[in-house]
Chain A
């Protein structure tokens, strides 16, 4: 990571998710010097937080960590984690990025990732990395397979008791660390800032997060992860093992009135995946998926869908319109059925999982001159013959930053963006 001097690279990669890492590795393999700028304290993006991945069902960590480690150890790649890009502008031949290094309050050069500080810290707060279902300390290493394995302090919760500083074997804790601004200069850039799910709090019809036992699909990923919060699937409200679980598809997507008119593209497949993993974890549970269309379009996806049907996952054609709290922590689902006699139906489930619509994680507005499309994702100007080209010279886009996308498609685009960028660089 080095001292925060203003440094020069061939290419900048914005975002250290799977798309960003893949793009960076492809550029680095061609001997270009690459800087990866990641706003979180670890690289890995959404993928490192998933349980298993469709359609192969291999463990997500097993696929992501090798790429994370390859990027971290690559001689041509420099990682800038916990860094936010504030501006990106073209100055003649150069792209200049204004970066803000947020304070970790821990000197990354000194921290050896031993977690002594974590053990000593007396503060417990819900761990967002575990869907809020487990606790972490106020000083913490983000998660077990984070890269870099370096601690940081959550100042909102730190009580400045001084224990971590005292126990740290390398005196890495520094309560007075200041955020730092610096510049990175490069000739080309790849935007790989990915997506976020729309906040549950915004969704009146789904209870705005106030109905117990309504969780998001990302939270379900944590419940299903081999290293998840409970080590098994329990409902968060009362720790009961759910007997009946429902997935609500297109929760906020494909509906102009809900703000996301487009299809979020990955939710059909991850719901099927989570349903399959659930039927493994809870063989006796009933699992229903409320959907309009199942969009299993990728390689092996339709077969995956058919397997789930054969396993007994109940696919219910119908749009879930409203959720209410039921008895004993149950959730009532009101939906417009397309089956049997149709009409509005009501069903009760112990646990309801929302496949929330996906929106961009980063908005270039006010930061750089990149245009976005009607969907607010980064606009591409030649979607057929050069699908990663943007309207800012030398800037390319990959992965979910250009619209929701699964991992396979994100990786393909990352390769394409790296190719376009390297071709641009060799023109220079």
Chain B
């Protein structure tokens, strides 16, 4: 799997109980993926406010994959709260003319190596296609582009 052209960095929020070990398993299998991916180890992604995602995009992160534990989270209720938040982030992204596919909520388990690779590859393909965050805003209504600039 080649890295493709350098279209921008992908940030992965990998929850400690499942996706982080899943990424480790991918590494142990020497299954290569784009080097433009950066994994943040988190306890629960429900910690991050809407603004965090928007800030990441304005800092130049081209895509974010939240790799949660899904319903198997050790924090009862956290996944539902996270899913509701991500819906709100999507609204805010649209307002700013950001393609909402740049943010993806998934569940990855400790041995989900193939799912991990697939998610990374899909995001990589997407950011290659979309370019830097905000570049799609040029095609979007002017107001949205302006909103992004103000970030």
- A, B co-complexed: yes
A227 and B111 form a contact (CB under 8 A): yes
Our pick among B28, B111, B114, B115 for the contact of A61 (Cβ within 8 Å) is: B111
Interface centre among B18, B21, B29 (most CB of A within 10 A): B21
B16-38 interface bits toward A, Cβ cutoff 8 Å, 1 = contact, 0 = none? 01100100010011000000000
B25 and A227 form a contact (CB under 8 A): yes
B113 at the A interface (CB under 8 A): yes
Q: Which residue of B lies closest to A115 (CB)?
A: B28
A308 at the B interface (CB under 8 A): no
**Complex Cα gap A183–B125 (Å):** 59
Our pick among B17, B21, B109 for the contact of A226 (Cβ within 8 Å) is: B109
B110 at the A interface (CB under 8 A): yes
Q: Which residues of B contact A231 (CB under 8 A)?
A: 114
Smallest CB separation, B108 vs chain A (Å): 10
**Complex Cα gap A145–B113 (Å):** 12
Q: Which residue of A lies closest to B21 (CB)?
A: A65
Interface centre among B28, B114, B115 (most CB of A within 10 A): B28
Q: Which residues of B contact A5 (CB under 8 A)?
A: none
Smallest CB separation, A173 vs chain B (Å): 20
**Complex Cα gap A59–B113 (Å):** 13
**Complex Cα gap A226–B21 (Å):** 14
A144 at the B interface (CB under 8 A): yes
**Complex Cα gap A128–B126 (Å):** 40
Which residues of chain A from 57 to 107 have a CB within 8 Å of any chain B CB?
Answer: 58-59, 61-62, 65-66
Our pick among B28, B72, B115 for the contact of A144 (Cβ within 8 Å) is: B28
Our pick among B18, B111, B112, B114 for the contact of A145 (Cβ within 8 Å) is: B111
A354 at the B interface (CB under 8 A): no
Q: Which residues of B contact A59 (CB under 8 A)?
A: 109-112
Smallest CB separation, A142 vs chain B (Å): 12
**Complex Cα gap A184–B17 (Å):** 35
B29 and A144 form a contact (CB under 8 A): yes
Q: Which residue of B lies closest to A66 (CB)?
A: B17
Q: Which residue of B lies closest to A149 (CB)?
A: B28
**Complex Cα gap A403–B21 (Å):** 33
Smallest CB separation, B106 vs chain A (Å): 14
Q: Which residue of B lies closest to A57 (CB)?
A: B72
A267 at the B interface (CB under 8 A): no
| A226-B114, A231-B114 known; A144-B25 Cβ under 8 A | yes
**Complex Cα gap A231–B113 (Å):** 10
Our pick among B29, B110, B114 for the contact of A65 (Cβ within 8 Å) is: B110
**Complex Cα gap A231–B110 (Å):** 15
A226 and B112 form a contact (CB under 8 A): yes
B18 and A62 form a contact (CB under 8 A): yes
Smallest CB separation, B76 vs chain A (Å): 14
Q: Which residues of A contact B109 (CB under 8 A)?
A: 58-59, 61-62, 226
A246 at the B interface (CB under 8 A): no
Interface centre among A58, A62, A145, A231 (most CB of B within 10 A): A62
Which residues of chain A from 144 to 159 have a CB within 8 Å of any chain B CB?
Answer: 144-145
Which residues of chain A from 205 to 232 have a CB within 8 Å of any chain B CB?
Answer: 225-227, 231
Smallest CB separation, B116 vs chain A (Å): 10
Q: Which residue of A lies closest to B71 (CB)?
A: A58
Interface centre among A59, A65, A225, A231 (most CB of B within 10 A): A59
A219-260 interface bits toward B, Cβ cutoff 8 Å, 1 = contact, 0 = none? 000000111000100000000000000000000000000000
Q: Which residues of A contact B29 (CB under 8 A)?
A: 144, 227
Which residues of chain B from 103 to 151 have a CB within 8 Å of any chain A CB?
Answer: 109-115
Smallest CB separation, B103 vs chain A (Å): 25
Q: Which residue of B lies closest to A56 (CB)?
A: B72
Smallest CB separation, B37 vs chain A (Å): 20
Smallest CB separation, B32 vs chain A (Å): 15
Q: Which residue of B lies closest to A231 (CB)?
A: B114
Smallest CB separation, A425 vs chain B (Å): 32
A144 and B114 form a contact (CB under 8 A): no
**Complex Cα gap A62–B16 (Å):** 11
Smallest CB separation, B129 vs chain A (Å): 26
B72 and A145 form a contact (CB under 8 A): no
Interface centre among B18, B28, B110 (most CB of A within 10 A): B110
Q: Which residue of A lies closest to B115 (CB)?
A: A226
A225 and B111 form a contact (CB under 8 A): yes
Interface centre among B21, B111, B112, B114 (most CB of A within 10 A): B111
Q: Which residues of B contact A62 (CB under 8 A)?
A: 17-18, 21, 72, 109-111
- A-B CB proximity, top 6 nearest: A62-B110, A59-B109, A227-B111, A226-B111, A61-B111, A61-B110
Can you name 13 A-B residue pairings with CB atoms under 8 Å? A59-B109, A59-B111, A59-B112, A62-B17, A62-B18, A62-B109, A62-B111, A144-B111, A226-B109, A226-B111, A226-B114, A227-B111, A231-B114
What is B's interface to A at a CB cutoff of 8 Å? 17-18, 21, 25, 28-29, 72, 109-115
What is A's interface to B at a CB cutoff of 8 Å? 58-59, 61-62, 65-66, 144-145, 225-227, 231
